[in-house]
Amino acid sequence: MSQELAYALITPYSLLKSRTGGILSRLIARTGLDFVAARMFAPSPELLEEYAAALPSPDDPQEPAIQQLLQDYVRRRMAPDPKTGRRKRAMMLVFQGENAVAKLRDVVGFFARNRYAGQTIRDTYGDLVCDDQGEIRYFEPAVLIPVNAAQAEAHLKLWARYSDTDGGLLENVIEYAPGEVPERTLVLLKPDNFRFPAGRPGNVIDFFSRTGLYIVAIKVHRMSVAEAVEFYGPVREVLRTKLKGMVGGRARVVLEKELGFTLTPELESGLGDLLGPVYGENQFENIVRFMSGRAPSECPKEQWNDPGTEKCIALVYEGVNAIAKIRDVLGPTDPAKAPPGSIRREFGSNVMVNAAHASDSPQNAAREIGIVKPAENRFRQVIEAVYGPVN
């Protein structure tokens, strides 16, 4: 069943402990499934009650007591804070492929008493602690998953029904100290992270977790040509003008070698004026092609708004000094100039293929969020494409 969907719901505790990247790395790299959708939720009591009621299954290999623990966990540990009423964050990840549920189950694992190992996600990030009498004293599932394809369908349809009211770009889910003013910033994990199923996207998120910031939106995004042109529009004129000196110098070297005589500095400058804008435009085309799959000149105008062929993950991080903190961990545009321990030094190849993009100012963060639309309900679109309309 190539269209089978499966999901992993990352719990509020896993998010709070910045385990998101490690979990995502294993889910992508070890299942080989296509990561097709993601959405942040601040689930309401109504959603949580319906989900908890739908969790038990005769096909669940875990004992009934553990199934009951899962239900209780959803109802109590994922519920809004009883003192403030503030809802907690949860992250829904959706995967697609042959035997998707079974593959996800193998990677996530199941709980059993007195089992201690490290092969699965729950072995590493979850906890089932019993006392000497075998009574369960502490339970943390790390992620919640379906046990079969029928349950995956029922659960995904349920979350899709609530995905507009309870999900998207979350508001008022983080408590700040008096006087603290949070910022929001956009991060794009670029297409070079998705060339083949690997842990890179999760590893990059792991680096960002060092900032102590909070993820309040996530979306699997395929940037259209129109979006890429608008998103990178501010650098277009910079490329056309900034590179004149470099282009003139390189053209001078080539022509002197080919023609056998020396060119004057004035001619070199003229070559830069002539060829610089052309070279800059070519570089801009390459950027758009890298992000969307097609350059503007290769794509008919009527197709500019179609989703591209290249995959990104769009994330919105929130917190105090979010923009500066994210860019500090990311590193400068050129990976060769990035310091050790930065994302671009670790994962980047060149100034274009450099792992991730991050907003550089509050104004650009607002502009870029408006283009990429991380709150857009792509999650529901994916569910309905497979199962049909969700009522």
Mean pLDDT, all residues of the chain = 94
The Cβ of residue 131 has, within 10 Å, a number of other Cβ atoms equal to 9
Instruction: For residue 314, report the phi and psi dihedrals to the nearest 5 degrees.
Output: -100, 130
> How many domains does the chain divide into?
2
How would residue 111 be classed by pLDDT, with cut points 50, 70 and 90?
confident
Interatomic CA distance for residues 181 and 358, integer angstroms: 20
The candidate with the shortest Cα–Cα distance to 212, out of 329, 124, 122, 315, is 329
User: Looking at the structure, do residues 116 and 243 belong to the same domain, yes or no?
Assistant: no
User: What pLDDT sits at residue 317?
Assistant: 98
* Residue 252 counted as domain residue: yes
From 220, 223, 376, select the one nearest 308 (Cα to Cα): 223
pLDDT of 391 reads 81
Q: Are residues 118 and 250 in the same domain?
A: no
Do the domain assignments include residue 359? no
Per the structure, the complete domain to which residue 248 belongs is given by 228-303
pTM: 0.93
pLDDT at 1 over 60: no
Would you state the structure tokens that stand for residue 135, as one six-digit string?
A: 């009574």
Q: Are residues 246 and 129 in the same domain?
A: no
In tens, the pLDDT along 305-332 reads 999 999 999 999 999 999 999 999 999 9
pLDDT tier at 133, thresholds 50, 70, 90: confident
Q: 124 and 202 in contact (C-beta within 8 Å)?
A: no
The answer to whether residue 208 is domain-embedded is: no
CB 380 within 8 A of CB 206: no
Helices (H), 243-300: 244-259, 265-292
Domain boundary, last residue among 270, 303, 336? 303
pLDDT band per the 50, 70, 90 thresholds, residue 246: confident
Confidence of residue 116 (pLDDT cuts 50, 70, 90): low
Per-residue model confidence as pLDDT tens digits over 257-289:
999 989 899 998 998 888 888 888 999 999 999
